Amino acid sequence: MRKTWYIAVREYNAAVRSKAFIVSMVLMPVFMVGGIVVQKLLKGKVDTTDKTIAVIDHTDQLCEAIEAAANAYNENELLDPKTGKKIKPKYIIERVAPSEEEPDKQRVDLSDRIRANKLHAFVEIGKDVIEPNSNPRANADILPMTERVVYHGERAAIDDMRGWVRRILNERIRELRLAKVDMAADVVERLTRFVPVEPHGLLSLEGGKVKAEGRRSEGQLMVIPIIIMMLMLMMIMIGAPPLINSVLEEKMQRIAEVLLGSVTPFQIMFGKLLGTVGVSLTMVVIYVGGGLLLADRIDATQYVPYHLLPWFVIYLVMAILMFGAMFSAVGAACSDLKEAQSMTMPVMVTVMIPMFVWVNVVKDPLSGFSTWLSLVPTCTPLLMLVRQATPSTIPAWQPWVGLGGVVLFTIFCVWVAGRIFRVGLLMQGKPAKLTDLVRWAIRG
């Protein structure tokens, strides 16, 4: 056991001092948090150049509303009330009389102006938009052109201004239609008011008082499971795959033979796995510790699922042992990096499976699919934890049965990998085939 420990210590030191580890330690959170930060930074950096849109109004009744809305907007929303800085583009409406003779030429001309950057977009309002005759349930595509409003622009589909125009036009059109039947807009609004169905959590009795979890947003429900899963996946990915390189180094530099003169192959492999577990626990201390500190600073401690912390650590240790054993077997079976890369794929995919299904599991953690998949040992660490992180009550036996399965499967993996490791370690030259691996595992 002491020798295993020495190997573990060496492995740990070699891993945490490697550049790859330090870089990924620093970069991983940068990538994860970076996206949010960049979004935040870019939020204020919208394009504030003035936007002119041309309106061809065949109804002759709607353009005014757009102009009025644009004026109101230009007056009230253009400047930041605190700093007085211009934070939004000014909207300029240009009314264009419809051309009776050459409507297509008019459209082409306007398009050319957009291409020349003289114009932002142009809107053409059909003449029967206010009082359409066709079936109100008909698909917009089959309506006659006279009943449609078309927004032409280079990025029309994702243009914010199109949404603005739509809102203004519809408000005005509704007003006009209601006026025709002599109804006031506020009356209609009261009559057709929509009642929301709020998503709330469960209630519980604490010290004689009813405690409600209150309103829960979709984001809140998804955020915690995904943070937990990504954190664990990241630790597995930083910890386990480097074992391939480390075993390969020992094999290619013929260090393995020196080691085998002192320790058994199983001791080597187990020592390396323990070292890797140490690396992951170091990451837990840094990331989870950092996360908890951050949660404390931003007053988000009520969202931290403290009860999951022990499960997180146990599952992580098991996952590292399980996948680490697989990766070291791959390393031992190959004789160069190229070979190893192709043999790594299946193991990588096995690690990643939970990534592909986690949304379904979070949405319905009690479904048969979620339950069974989370009991498959290679998926248990990530998926069971994700299920436990949702507010649903997972039957109490399931995490334990899952853990039992993981422990058994991990022992099996380490045992099989140990046998492949022993045969593969001194094997040079010809690459091992899958059948060889199976034979080594069975015969030892």
Q: Which of 71, 99, 134, 253 binds other proteins (CB under 8 A)?
A: 253
Determine, following the binding rule CB under 8 A, whether residue 316 of this chain makes contact with other proteins.
Answer: no
Strand 149-153 and strand 121-125: the pairing is antiparallel
The span from the CA of 354 to the CA of 125, in Å, is: 50
Determine, following the binding rule CB under 8 A, whether residue 264 of this chain makes contact with other proteins.
Answer: yes
The span from the CA of 327 to the CA of 321, in Å, is: 10
Determine, following the binding rule CB under 8 A, whether residue 254 of this chain makes contact with other proteins.
Answer: yes
**Six token digits for residue 260:** 């085998």
Question: How open is the CA angle 123-124-127, to the nearest 5 degrees?
Answer: 145
Each residue 231-250 as x (binds other proteins by CB under 8 A) or -, in order, gives ------------------xx
Give the nearer residue to other proteins in terms of CB position, either 7 or 414.
7
Each residue 407-426 as x (binds other proteins by CB under 8 A) or -, in order, gives -------------------x
Give the nearer residue to other proteins in terms of CB position, either 274 or 413.
274
Determine, following the binding rule CB under 8 A, whether residue 45 of this chain makes contact with other proteins.
Answer: no
Give the nearer residue to other proteins in terms of CB position, either 229 or 334.
334
Q: Which of 143, 226, 260, 308 binds other proteins (CB under 8 A)?
A: 260
Q: Closest approach of Cβ 394 to other proteins, in Å?
A: 45
Give the nearer residue to other proteins in terms of CB position, either 3 or 90.
3
Determine, following the binding rule CB under 8 A, whether residue 279 of this chain makes contact with other proteins.
Answer: no
Determine, following the binding rule CB under 8 A, whether residue 440 of this chain makes contact with other proteins.
Answer: no
Residue carrying structure tokens 């419809």: 98
According to DSSP, residue 204 is labeled: E
Determine, following the binding rule CB under 8 A, whether residue 259 of this chain makes contact with other proteins.
Answer: yes
- Per CB under 8 A, the segment of 4-12, 60-68, 230-238, 332-340 that binds other proteins is 4-12
Q: Closest approach of Cβ 275 to other proteins, in Å?
A: 12
Give the nearer residue to other proteins in terms of CB position, either 8 or 316.
8
Q: Closest approach of Cβ 342 to other proteins, in Å?
A: 25
Residues 284/315, Cβ–Cβ less than 8 Å: no
**Six token digits for residue 437:** 């691996």
Residues 150/123, Cβ–Cβ less than 8 Å: yes
Burial 97-123 (b: 16+ CB within 10 A, else e): eeeeeeeeebbeebbebbeeeebbbbb
Determine, following the binding rule CB under 8 A, whether residue 10 of this chain makes contact with other proteins.
Answer: yes
Give the nearer residue to other proteins in terms of CB position, either 426 or 438.
426
Cβ-proximal residues to 213 (8 Å cutoff; 6+ apart), any chain: 200, 201, 202, 203, 204, 391
- Per CB under 8 A, the segment of 63-71, 98-106, 157-165, 255-263 that binds other proteins is 255-263
The span from the CA of 425 to the CA of 47, in Å, is: 61
Determine, following the binding rule CB under 8 A, whether residue 230 of this chain makes contact with other proteins.
Answer: no
**Six token digits for residue 157:** 């589909």
Give the nearer residue to other proteins in terms of CB position, either 254 or 363.
254
> Within 10 A of 17 (CB to CB), how many other CB atoms are there?
9
Determine, following the binding rule CB under 8 A, whether residue 3 of this chain makes contact with other proteins.
Answer: yes
The span from the CA of 197 to the CA of 8, in Å, is: 56
Determine, following the binding rule CB under 8 A, whether residue 14 of this chain makes contact with other proteins.
Answer: yes
Query: In 3D, which of 348, 347, 412, 404 has the Cα closest to residue 380?
Result: 404
Q: Closest approach of Cβ 427 to other proteins, in Å?
A: 10
H/E stretch holding 51 reads strand 51-57
The span from the CA of 168 to the CA of 69, in Å, is: 7
Query: In 3D, which of 320, 324, 319, 333 has the Cα closest to residue 438?
Result: 333
Give the nearer residue to other proteins in terms of CB position, either 134 or 253.
253
Count of residues interacting with other proteins (CB under 8 A):
23
Determine, following the binding rule CB under 8 A, whether residue 257 of this chain makes contact with other proteins.
Answer: yes
The span from the CA of 39 to the CA of 29, in Å, is: 16
